[in-house]
Every structure is written in structure tokens, then in C-alpha cells.
Chains A and B, each alone.
Chain A
Amino acid sequence: MATSSLSEKKSLYNFLGLYIFLTLIILVLASLMYYRFQKELMLSSHLPTLQSHAKEVIHRIRQMHESLLEDNYYPRYSNFRSAIYDADYVKIFSLLRGKRIDFHNVLYKQGRFIYFIKEPERYYLGTKYLIIEILDDEKWIAATFKNILLFGSLFLLFMAFLGYYLAKLFLRPMKNSFTLLNDFIKDTTHELNTPVSTILTNIETIDKSALDPKLAKKLGRIEIAARTISTIYKDLTYLLLHEQLPSHIETIDMNELLAQRLEYFNTLAKSKRLRIRFSKAPCFLKADRQKIARLVDNLLSNAIKYNKIGGEIWVKTFQGGFFIEDTGIGIPKSKQEEIFERYKRLQSNEGGFGIGLNIVYLIAQEFALRIKIDSKPKFYTRITILWEK
């Protein structure tokens, strides 16, 4: 449940990240297009005035030309400025404040000025290009930004609602599958406890030394199977109920607990002819005994499950931690981050639901334990649990 919502959140964030990124791209492009459109509109609105100014200047320079420059006073106006350039873009005369002229554009804005380039019918005074310059009050920019902000916000709001709806729609199948799996586990585990406990209790009461070796072997197999079911049951119960389970904090002698759990798994380990090495040093942990037992059980269960036949398990305690090392398949570096996710299994041919390490992770989180993985694929895996001394 917790992990399913985590996974759901992760998918939701990924989807939202992509969605927001695309929405912002659309918004930026639309804003740019709107800005350009408004700019063009503004320039077009000035065109009649600029043409009228150009006409006035052309009329005046024509007079100057016809006087063979005896009349050489260039016209000056309070509301605009002008300049004249020849066919080779050489300045003949200029009153402009702007320095650079873009001769490829007839009407454009540069800095705070609007420029209009007019070509007279004849080259009066050699003028091929007459440039008219007026000051832009830039009121349109404020209005444009205001509109972009307003409509952009509305667009974002709309897209947010749409995104939320789409996210819900897309995540529904995933949520359904998680719910289905959780319900299935809940239903399966419900009636498991009593029969499994009965089997185990009865097996423990049988004196195996008095039995025929063949029968004892068969009984051993039944015991392994029953213990496996019991472990799965305990894991599933923990998963389903761990949020409601209160923790009884006590000082646990980890050597004693590990020895007990090793004894519990002894039959299973023997079935794979595993050699168990236990190196002890004083090791105590303040936590809930039942929950730490679950953590140890899962680590031991994995160490047995993924070990090779005739392999080895090395359990070592030290001050502030312990480790369990196996000679199994190992965990590739790339997978080490994700093995703690629920329903994640390294090998599908081995049994299990892929919940063991998720339980380890949850318990470690609850008691602020640090998990360290050292592994070399096909050689060994060492999982170290550390805590503050």
C-alpha cells in the first residue's frame, strides 16, 4: 500500500513533469507568437503616419535637389527624425538617434525607435533610401505582457485541471492492479495462520530420532515447506498491518536473535547443503524484537534462496551492526537501488512475491537502520545492517 502509493506518486510526478514541460513550451511559443503579432499590429498602425512623414521629407528634398542645393537646409520636425542614404548605403545626411539601419526591413522596431524606409521615385540628392524614425511609447508592450500573463495563467489553470484528470485516467489501471494484488494477498493470508501453526507444532513434537530415516527425510521436507509458508505468512501480515502494529522497544542481543533465526532456517539451509559460519562479537540493538526478527528472517531467507547448492552463509556481528553474506547470484550495481521496491524480484524463477527486501527496507526505516549492499554478481552478496552505537 505504502509502496504502491509511492510508485503511483513516482509515475504521477514523471507524467506531470513531462506534461508541465510540454505545457510550458506551448505557452512560451504561443506567447512569442502573440508578442510578434502585437508588434506587427503596432507597426502597421503607425504606417499611415510614417508614410505621411516620408512624403513631407521627399517633397522637401525634391525642392532642395531642384535648387541644385542652393537651398541646402534639411527639414527638421518635432515629431519624427529622418535620414537619407544613397544606393550604396552611404549616408548622405542623418538626424537619426539610432546608429544602425536595417535596410532589409521596410518597417521595424529597434530599441525604443520605430523605423520606416521609403524609396523615393527618383534619387533626389542621390537619395535611394529615406529613413523615418519615431519614438515608440511602448504602451503596447505593457498591454501585451498583461494579456500574456492573464491568458497564460488561465491556460495554465485549464491545463492543470486537464493534467489532473488525465493523470487520474492514466493511473487508474495501475492503481487497480495494485489494489487487486493487495486484496489477493489479504484474502490468501487470512486463513493461513492456524493450519501452518498446527503443522509446525505437530512436527516439533515428533521425535525424529525414533523415525525411519526415509520417513524423517520426508518429515524434514514437510517442515521446510511449512516454515516457508509460515515466513510468507508473517511477511504478508507485516506488510498489511505494519502501520497498525505497535513497536515494543527493548534491547535485543543480536547474537542470540541471529542464532535463534539460524536455527529456525537450519533445515532449509541443510536442504541446499549450505555451510553456515557465525562470527560473534558483542552486538545489541534497541528495537522491536518481532520486527527485527522479520528483518533477519528475510535476509536469511534470501541468503538461502539465492545461494548455490553447497554454498556458504557467513553471519557476522560487530558493535553497531551485523552482516549476512552469501555465495549466491549477487546483485548487479544497476539493480541495487531498486531491489527494495515492492514486488521487485531479481530472478523470477525463484519463489516469492518480491516483498522480502521491501519489508527489510520498511523495518530499517522505522528504526533508523542503514542498509549497505556489497555484491559481485555470481560471487557473493553481503548485506550489512548498521545503526548508531
Chain B
Amino acid sequence: MGKIALFCLLFLLSYANVFDSKCLPCHQRKKANLKVIFFNYLLYHSSERRVKKAMKAFLLHPDPKKSLFVKNGSIYRHHIDPQILDQALKTYWERYKVIGKIK
């Protein structure tokens, strides 16, 4: 029973940290600033719901025409599970959201 609980906890932690463990290092390597990307999405989509929806749509079905950055070149295709993506986007939003940070 204890082992099952520990397994579940580890599983959840791995989900929660997917943004820091997977997204962040990769974006740093590729010099694709996540904060810049976030503010660009904010500029075109406004609310949390709309931003997350647009990001998820693009990451699951990348389309150069819908990209805010790459218009003609090749785009990176993320291979990511939708559930894990939701968790990553949640962390991403919490990390860079403007609500509560304006003085």
C-alpha cells in the first residue's frame, strides 16, 4: 500500500515538474525565450483560457501559418502527451502571468 502511494506521489511530482525538467532546459538550449513567447501569446490572445488554448493547439498540431514567430521556416514539432502538456502549460502560466505582479 505504501509503495503504491509513493509511486503515485512520484508520478504526480514528475507531472508537476515537466515544465522545469523538460521545457525550460530545451528552450534555453535552443535560445527560444519562454518569457518572450509567453508575452507574445498574451499580446494576441489576452486571457488565460485563450492563451492556453492557442498554445495547446499549436503544440499538438504545429502549423507555420499559426505560429507567432516562424512564418516560412521549419518549426519544431513537440512530441508531448496532451495531459502532460496541460500540466506544463499550467506551470508556464503561473510562472509568467501578469495578474498579481503589477504594482
Contacts and interface: CB of A to CB of B under 8 A. Distances in A.
A221 to B, nearest CB: 106
B103 A127 contact: no
Interface stretch (A82-90, A106-114, A198-206): A82-90
Contacts of A73: 102-103
Contact of A68 (B39, B50, B51): B39
Nearest to A92: B99
Contact of A126 (B35, B98, B103): B98
A126 B47 contact: yes
Given A68-B36, A123-B42, A87 B50 contact: yes
Interface in A93-127: 93, 122-127
A74 B98 contact: no
Given A65-B39, A68-B35, A68-B36, A126 B46 contact: yes
B71 to A, nearest CB: 18
| Max count, chain A CB within 10 A of own CB: residue among B43, B46, B50, B101 | B46
A76 to B, nearest CB: 10
Interface string B36-64: 10010011111111110000000000000
Contact of A125 (B35, B44, B49, B98): B98
A126 B101 contact: no
Chain A contact surface mostly? loop
Contacts of A87: 45-47, 50
Given A68-B39, A72-B103, A88 B98 contact: no
Contacts of B101: 69, 72
A72 B36 CA distance: 16
A183 B59 CA distance: 105
B102 A126 contact: no
Contacts of A90: 47-48, 99
Contacts of A65: 39, 42-43
Interface in B72-103: 98-99, 101-103
B34 to A, nearest CB: 11
A342 interface: no
A127 B39 CA distance: 12
| Max count, chain A CB within 10 A of own CB: residue among B36, B43, B48, B101 | B43
A294 interface: no
B49 A88 contact: yes
B103 to A, nearest CB: 5
Contacts of B35: 68
Interface string A122-141: 11111110000000000000
Contact of B102 (A69, A86, A88, A122): A69
Contacts of B50: 87-88
Given A65-B43, A126-B98, 15 more contacts: A65-B39, A69-B102, A72-B102, A72-B103, A73-B103, A74-B102, A74-B103, A87-B45, A87-B47, A88-B47, A88-B48, A90-B48, A91-B99, A92-B99, A123-B46
Interface of A: 64-65, 68-69, 72-74, 86-88, 90-93, 122-128
18 contacts: A65-B43, A68-B35, A69-B101, A69-B102, A72-B103, A74-B102, A86-B48, A87-B45, A88-B47, A88-B50, A90-B99, A91-B99, A93-B98, A93-B99, A123-B43, A123-B46, A126-B42, A128-B47
The 5 closest A-B pairs by CB, nearest first: A87-B46, A86-B47, A88-B47, A123-B46, A93-B102
